[in-house]
Amino acid sequence: MSAPLIEARGLAIGYQRTVVARGIDVSVAPGEVVCLLGPNGSGKTTLFKTLLGLIRRMQGAVSVVGRDIDAWPRQDLARQVAYVPQAHVSVFPYAVRDMVVMGRTAHLGLFSSPGEADRERADGALAGLGIAHLAEREYSRVSGGQRQLALIARALVQDAPAIIMDEPTASLDFGNQALVLSEVKRLAQRGLGIVLSTHDPDHAFAAGSRVLLLHEGRVVADGAPKTVLTKARLEQVYGVPVDIETLADGRVTCVPRLNEP
């Protein structure tokens, strides 16, 4: 297996003196899709911000391409790891294309401006995600799902070998969720390493190489989706009865069992 693009060992994460989770080991290699699952408040976003160096780890080590994260200049780190946050509304009235072009910043000099090649790269990313028609629209005036797709396009033009995605399908309708998951698999096939969080076990079954399941401040399981996402574990972590079904074509799906009225 290739050396990890991102690796953390013995990690404790949190804010100030409040520990959110501890004892976390996580890595992503080229071509891997690592899905992070866990209830709200289990530390998924905090872990991502720690892996990106946006907040300091409380304990343990984080490395990017074998180099301690603290040793990376910020612009150089941005060439190694791209980030897709949860959809937000910009304070400034940027066009969607301009928002995507910002992903090229890591490749520009201190006083350089994006050129025609950068704008073409942005247009290509928008087209690949099916939102080329939004290029001139104001980013703050498109739907939440369309903003999320624009943020994914921005990460793609960053041309980093690793991408961290914080709930990239959360604001998307069913069709666009499928589009994003297909794009995630395609990027992994190209050799990128991807870490994404999701609330839907089916997304991990569909696109994940590995799953980290977080619960009560620790990783309770790490491995292949079919190994980690068992009926017993999901019921323990989420507190609801579920059924795990294998479809005729071999795909696996998770179905919550609803209480009868």
Q: Which H or E run contains 64? A: strand 59-64
Give the start-to-end residue ranges of the domains of the chain: 1-80+160-261, 87-158
The pTM of this model reads 0.90
Which residues are registered as beta bridge partners of 164? 83, 195
Question: 42: helix, coil or strand?
Answer: coil
pLDDT digits (tens, 9 = 90+) for 115-129: 889 999 999 999 988
How much of the chain exceeds pLDDT 90, in percent? Answer: 61
Q: Which H or E run contains 197? A: strand 193-197
Q: How far apart are CA 239 and CA 186, in angstroms?
A: 33
Q: Are 242 and 229 in contact (CB under 8 A)?
A: no
CATH superfamily of 1-80+160-261: P-loop containing nucleotide triphosphate hydrolases (3.40.50.300)
CA 255 to chain centre: 23
pLDDT digits (tens, 9 = 90+) for 167-210: 998 878 888 888 889 889 989 999 999 999 999 999 999 999 99
The pLDDT, as a whole number, for residue 261 is 55
Q: How far apart are CA 24 and CA 60, in angstroms?
A: 9
The pLDDT, as a whole number, for residue 260 is 57
